[in-house]
Structure 1
């Protein structure tokens, strides 16, 4: 009996050793394969002169997610100090189900771009202003934030590490998304105990499917984007999901985007779903004042300065919807949309068409802005940062 049991034990144990060895071998080859894939992803797929590019259809870039190779990650300790950040391959992150961002929406983000000059060098546009805006937003959401130097350094590292994903000059840009979130676990309502700052990137073309064609906007009267005392003036993630229903409804009816009105009287223009709005009448350009419900766009601020330099009277004020319907031109601004002409606005049962010709105010301002951003026009304002 003892011999039989011993024999049976050997029979059972041997396959187990073989099974473990097989798993170890599989794990080894799996790791090697993963490493090879990472190395392959780092290897340029083709070269254009002395510069390296990924193999993309640059002429047909939309505004979709095409993750670049690397992202930048920096953690914040419980005492509010950010550790030294580092680059890592773009990929999923781990979060506790009770993370503050998942349960209470404690997060803000920024949007900026890397531009490629005709000589292949990379430029950033006013990244320090993105850093300052994130700092203000973090204060509103009771979060620690990276310093301006930490923020700008993270943007630079992300852009350089993903240089081969920056489209050729005139073909698009590398959109860079800095995200600050409460990643620490928490059950009761309160600020998260820990925070994570992530920067990732994607090559993009025009934000709207219309490309450079004029937009058709719909004035929304049922839903509002933000209310006084809320967080509409910062780039909180909580500002964006609530606009999806109105935006989806408008798009289903053939509109490009929605224009929101104030939450009190519903008679004064605020902004579109993801961009600021400007109204042109003669030599006067008006835009809704930033009173806590409207995001202070960096492109908005830049366009206002360019317009003033060109002799236009730029006014920040409460813009009544009737003024919009009586305007000569309307255009939108934002990091993603740049400067986009509006062709029509529909309000109640009235539809108004606007000037969108090549010599329009919108096109003149866009030409100067893009020229500065891409190095085609000399930057005498200190807006552009060369990073290589």
Structure 2
């Protein structure tokens, strides 16, 4: 496998993990060599969309060991997402065990440290019992696959974004859950953004279309002229683990971070801006265009110094090159 040219794509590895909920309880999960799932044509997930998922990474360290970054938060978020969709949550302790099992089983596919690539891990939970009328499932499948990936975005290169006319999620809807429907509804906006020459789009709040919510696949942050880290607070966006971590890193760097409503009308107060998430880590935003006006942050071709420093510290923690705050990293020998 060419570790330096992986792309962000699926590779069918030897082992996946699977567990089933049936007769009111979770059965013991296990590794499997099957990379397919058999479903009835009347399965809940195919018709009423009971599906939630997660995304996390395993990082190869310089010493050859493997780091997981705050995986318990992914397990808790999966449980929270399941609760929002009326699903039977997979226990967090079992979630952690499944992640460690699949990483160990596919250890040879964790890319080497010097490649900058990672093993991307995708746990998901689906309703599998047969239904005709609208109702929650009574049977569920929890499944995890892993795939080696390169960078989701091409390094710290600023990208151009546009503001979408669509809503990603309803105000009191499922925006805070990591469920496929939210991403499906954002695809048309992303397709249009790409056609117009942008990397992706930014969504505004669904009630007033006044406040910044998030990008199609990542949270937003801005750095003010005074050097403050600011990120949106909204009930219709995903509670990002990368965002939660960067808020703490920003505090350590003296950036006085804050989560608050951000009016798009105030966008020009930011000297730098970025998108943050598990896949992207940090992707600098060079510009955002809205209603025909382009708003530029720092430089359309160069990444700002504050964004660069945030990125470098977070990446160093994830790969084990810098001390991690207590509990942030779990190491697999």
- The TM-score normalised by the length of structure 2 is 0.96
The alignment status of 1:283 with 2:221, answered yes or no, reads no
Q: Please say if residues 123 and 373 of structure 1, whose CA atoms lie closer than 8 Å, have aligned partners that are also in contact.
A: yes
Q: Secondary structure at the match of 2:208?
A: coil
Structure possessing the higher relative contact order (Cα contacts under 8 Å, 6 or more residues apart): 2
1:251 counterpart residue number:
194
1:205 counterpart residue number:
150
The 1:219–1:170 alpha-carbon spacing in structure 2 relative to 1, beyond 3 Å, is farther
**Residue from 115, 124, 127 that aligns with 2:68:** 124
**Residue from 81, 85, 110 that aligns with 2:54:** 110
The alignment status of 1:350 with 2:308, answered yes or no, reads no
Q: Please say if residues 217 and 256 of structure 1, whose CA atoms lie closer than 8 Å, have aligned partners that are also in contact.
A: yes
2:88 counterpart residue number:
144
Describe how 1:248-327 pairs up with structure 2 within 5 A: 248-281=191-224, 282-291=226-235, 293-327=236-270
- The TM-score normalised by the length of structure 1 is 0.83
Query: Aligned partners of 1:284 and 1:156: how far apart in 2?
Result: 37
Q: For each residue in 1:164-222, what CA deviation from the matched residue of structure 2 results, as whole angstroms up to 9, or x when unmatched?
A: 111111421000000001011111111112000000011111113x44311211111x2
Q: Secondary structure at the match of 1:287?
A: strand
**Residue from 366, 369, 373 that aligns with 2:311:** 366
Q: Secondary structure at the match of 1:128?
A: helix
Alpha-carbon distance, 1:340 to partner: 1.1
The alignment status of 1:59 with 2:4, answered yes or no, reads yes
Q: Which has the larger radius of gyration?
A: 1
Query: Aligned partners of 1:154 and 1:161: how far apart in 2?
Result: 10
1:95 counterpart residue number:
39
The alignment status of 1:178 with 2:123, answered yes or no, reads yes
Alpha-carbon distance, 1:360 to partner: 1.5
Q: Please say if residues 346 and 352 of structure 1, whose CA atoms lie closer than 8 Å, have aligned partners that are also in contact.
A: yes
Alpha-carbon distance, 1:90 to partner: 4.1
The 1:118–1:90 alpha-carbon spacing in structure 2 relative to 1, beyond 3 Å, is farther
**Residue from 2, 17, 20 that aligns with 1:72:** 17
Q: Please say if residues 218 and 259 of structure 1, whose CA atoms lie closer than 8 Å, have aligned partners that are also in contact.
A: yes
Alpha-carbon distance, 1:133 to partner: 0.6
Query: Aligned partners of 2:45 and 2:12: how far apart in 1?
Result: 22
Q: Which runs of 5+ in 1 are unaligned?
A: 1-55
Q: For each residue in 1:327-346, what CA deviation from the matched residue of structure 2 results, as whole angstroms up to 9, or x when unmatched?
A: 10101110000011111111
The 1:350–1:358 alpha-carbon spacing in structure 2 relative to 1, beyond 3 Å, is closer
Query: Aligned partners of 2:194 and 2:292: how far apart in 1?
Result: 17
The 1:334–1:96 alpha-carbon spacing in structure 2 relative to 1, beyond 3 Å, is same
Pairwise CA RMSD: 1.2
Query: Aligned partners of 2:238 and 2:121: how far apart in 1?
Result: 18
Q: Secondary structure at the match of 1:240?
A: helix
2:137 counterpart residue number:
192
Alpha-carbon distance, 1:233 to partner: 0.5
Alpha-carbon distance, 1:380 to partner: 3.1
Q: For each residue in 1:324-376, what CA deviation from the matched residue of structure 2 results, as whole angstroms up to 9, or x when unmatched?
A: 23310101110000011111111111112222546621111111111010000
- Give the aligned length: 329
Q: Which runs of 5+ in 2 are unaligned?
A: none
Query: Aligned partners of 1:121 and 1:133: how far apart in 2?
Result: 26
